[in-house]
Amino acid sequence: MGQYFGTDGVRGVANTELTPELAFQLGRCGAYYLTKVNGKKHVIVGRDTRLSGEMLEAAFVAGVTSVGVDVTRLGVVTTPGVAFLTTEMGAGAGVMISASHNPYPDNGIKFFGADGYKLSDESEAELERLIVEAEDNLPRPSGNEIGRIYDRPEAFHRYLEHVQASIDTDLCGMTIVVDCANGGAANLAPRLLRDLGADVITLHAKPDGMNINVDCGSTHPQNLQHEVVSRQAHVGLAFDGDADRLVAVDEQGELVDGDGIMAICAKYLKERGELTQNKVVATVMSNIGFMKGLEQLGIEVETTAVGDRYVMEAMRKEGLSLGGEQSGHIIFLEHGTTGDGLLSAVQLLRVLKDRGQSLGDLAKVFTKFPQVLVNVTVKDKESYKQSEKVQTRIAAAEAALGDDGRVLVRPSGTEPLVRVMAEGPDEEQINHLVAEIATAIEEA
């Protein structure tokens, strides 16, 4: 990670860290560099529902047009929608203004290349080099060479048609509760599922600029769990603010996270002979039970660093069809170039419809190990690595768990946090071990 780019674009508190001035520079440098590479002088821009989205969009678009590149504004859409439309509309780059699951004061800017994939580390490093240069030597055309701005808020229909076409069945007879997180999925997800024939009950689909992710969505599914049971629905679906994540809720109100969705889909695809190399890519955050369960099904699991971009890199390198994260970023490479909540939803629902089984029954594909995750707020995300006390506590925890569990301590890529996670057969034990490590980090 560089000075500006984290694990998923540039993020920060809007108008404090992610300022309009920085957005303008990102627009100039991003448009110049990315369209120069492919010669397509056209950038598409989408945003989620945050209050700061319009401000940052205006600054970013001004930067793009100032280097002579045209912009198409998509309005409120999802991150995977931008990724798809980048290639569908023949743009030189796609940009999403969103901080995903973060609280509404935060915002972010993430880039996609002309191929719809997130930028490589090398491309982000080149963008950073242009941004931090003391003198701005990029072009400043005048007259009719200044970039033009176009509005295409209806373009999302093409994305929804693509997602709908990814399955070979309808969803008639299914009652689905959908939590849209007051974000980018608010208009898209209910429309998609109804078009497929489902009876849809919608939650948190009235964004006001400040209620995105507030006690709702994939990180706060409690309300969804209650509604699924009380409405006697077949399944519940929860997206995050930009709908690149999905978690599900079964008919009993039990949560099925990204690991569960991947395992259900992996088993189904393997049985149909559609799981490339009988292999799935996951991150180090995936549950041990997930790893062991897929192994028993004859499915190999390759692990990467946290971040769906790293999952994607591994999938593309080996030509694999399925991968994702426990948090709900799931990639179906045959149909998309990034984690996609809506696409994951219809792929999961296809399995339920085709198998005629409940989500609760399908989720028994593996037994989840107890897992405890604690986020420790810090000023310096790296300093714990130099603390002898922290390292001693980590080593002691690893020794206590042995081969029956594991400990993972890592800095967040998007927030001022150190994440402490442990898994094992004894929940009381791992709670104790995580608390000891977290205390040591706080003291350090």
Q: Are residues 209 and 286 in the same domain?
A: yes
| 22 within a domain of the structure (yes/no) | yes
Residue 354 counted as domain residue: yes
Q: For residue 271, what pLDDT band results from cuts at 50, 70 and 90?
A: very high
Instruction: Check whether residue 19 and residue 40 sit in a common domain.
Output: yes
Least confident residue range of 53-67, 80-94, 322-336, 404-418: 404-418
For residues 262 and 172, state if they share a domain: yes
* Cα–Cα–Cα angle for 50, 189, 351, rounded to 5 degrees: 135
Q: Give the CATH number for residue 396.
A: 3.30.310.50
Distance from C-alpha of 329 to C-alpha of 320, rounded to nearest angstrom: 16
| One domain for residues 320 and 417 | no
With bands split at pLDDT 50, 70 and 90, how would you rate the model's confidence at 22? Answer: very high
Note the pLDDT of residue 2. 64
What is the C-alpha to C-alpha distance for residues 299 and 366, in angstroms, rounded to an integer?
12
Tell me if the pTM is above 0.85: yes
Residues 69 and 188 both lie in one domain = no
Q: What are residue 88's phi and psi, to 5 degrees? A: -60, -35
Instruction: Point out the domain boundary residue: 154, 189, 210.
Output: 154
Cα 167 to chain centroid distance, Å, stands at: 21
Mean pLDDT of 142-158: 97
Is 159 a member of any domain? no
User: Do residue 356 and residue 381 come from a single domain?
Assistant: no
Q: How far from 141 is each of 28, 32, 64, 134, 173, CA to CA, in Å? A: 12, 12, 12, 20, 57
Least confident of 13-27, 88-102, 119-133, 178-192: 119-133
Cα dihedral 99, 217, 193, 163 sign = positive
Answer yes or no: do 184 and 201 share one domain: yes
Q: What is the C-alpha separation between 275 and 291, in angstroms, rounded?
A: 16
Statement: residue 171 has pLDDT above 70: yes
Full residue range of the structural domain in which residue 24 is found: 5-154
* Banded pLDDT at 221 (limits 50, 70, 90): very high
Which of 123, 154, 185 is at the close of a domain? 154
CA distance 221 to 327: 12
Give the domain-ending residue among 331, 365, 399: 365
Same domain? 214 vs 320:
yes
Active site residue 123: no
C-alpha Rg value of the chain to the nearest Å: 22
Decide the pairing of beta strands 417-423 and 371-377.
antiparallel
Cβ-contact 179, 21 below 8 angstroms: no
Place of tokens 């996951």: 282
In a domain, 305, yes or no: yes
Let me know: does 362 contact 288? Beta carbons within 8 Å.
Answer: no
Number of domains in the chain: 3
213 occurs within a structural domain = yes
Lowest mean pLDDT: which of 167-176, 221-230, 381-390? 381-390
Do 207 and 229 share a domain, yes or no?
yes
- The CATH number of whichever domain residue 139 belongs to comes to 3.40.120.10
- pLDDT at position 275 is 97
Separation CA 325–CA 307 (nearest Å): 8
pLDDT digits (tens, 9 = 90+) for 336-353: 999 999 999 999 999 999
Structure tokens at 104: 């509404």
The answer to whether the CB of 28 falls within 8 A of the CB of 141 is: no
Contacts 24+ apart (CB under 8 A), 216-222: 216/179, 216/181, 216/182, 217/101, 217/179, 217/180, 217/181, 217/182, 217/183, 217/241, 218/101, 218/179, 218/181, 218/245, 218/246, 218/247, 218/327, 218/328, 218/341, 219/101, 221/179, 221/247, 221/249, 221/255
Secondary structure letter of residue 147 according to DSSP: P
Q: Which of 52, 98, 100, 321 is catalytic?
A: 100
- Pair (304, 340) in one structural domain: yes
The pLDDT value given to residue 179: 98
Within this chain, do residues 173 and 40 fall inside the same structural domain, yes or no? no
Residue 315: CA atoms inside 13 Å, Cβ hemisphere, count?
28
Q: Could you tell me if residue 161 is inside a domain? A: no
Query: Following CA atoms 413, 419, 422, 428 in sequence, which dihedral angle do they give, to the nearest 10 degrees?
Result: -150
DSSP, collapsed to helix, strand or coil, labels residue 68 as coil
With cut-offs at 50, 70 and 90, classify the pLDDT of residue 378. confident
Instruction: Tell me whether residue 160 is in a domain.
Output: no
Is residue 209 domain-shared with residue 320, that is, in the same domain? yes
**Helix H or strand E segment including 119:** none
Is residue 422 one of the residues assigned to a domain?
yes
